[in-house]
Amino acid sequence: MKTIIKISTLFLTIIIFACTNKQSEKAMIHKTELAFPKGDQITNNNFTGTAWLQMLVSNDSIYTTSIGNVTFEPGARTNWHKHPGGQILLVTEGTGYYQEKGKPAQQLHKGDVVKIPPDTEHWHGAAHNNGLTHIAISPNTDKGSVVWLQPVTDEEYNNIK
């Protein structure tokens, strides 16, 4: 009897070890699966909450385009702002929102593409309970760089339906 208990305990230990090991292996694979780095935490006042930026393409006179990978933690968002040359967002991870002034906020999901017309006041950011990662393509930089405006208030953010 004692031997049976000992053997079953041993098996249980092996199974638990195998499962735990598999989980940490999964976590490691997920980490290396990131297509682009998360970059550095954004410390300026143009964002609310915690967001990260990795520049992928710096603006120059040949391409007149800047491209950045932006990661928002839950609740984080940009201020209201506009792009003189427009902007395109490619959502690569998570869920969030895009809103143009005077219009309802749109939900964003992985795989969404958002075309933001030039000089259109808007903001983008994470959902309340989920983070968001998008690639932000800002073309036509010869028309001017981003114009930052007021923060998206908690009232505005929490009233999203």
**Nearer to Mn ion among residue 30 and residue 127 (C-beta):** 127
CA distances from residue 70 to 58, 94, 118, 124, 126 in whole angstroms, order as listed: 14, 12, 20, 10, 11
Alpha-carbon Rg for the chain in angstroms: 22
Cα–Cα distance between 108 and 98 in angstroms, integer?
7
**Nearer to Mn ion among residue 16 and residue 147 (C-beta):** 147
Tell me how far, at minimum, the Cβ of 158 lies from Mn ion, in Å.
21
Interface positions, 76-105, toward Mn ion (CB under 5 A): 87
Tell me how far, at minimum, the Cβ of 45 lies from Mn ion, in Å.
16
Tell me how far, at minimum, the Cβ of 98 lies from Mn ion, in Å.
9
Residue nearest to Mn ion (CB): 87
Q: Is 138 in the site for Mn ion (CB under 5 A)?
A: no
Cα–Cα distance between 53 and 73 in angstroms, integer?
12
The phi and psi torsions of 148 (rounded to 5 degrees) equal -85, 140
Positions that interact with Mn ion (CB under 5 A): 87
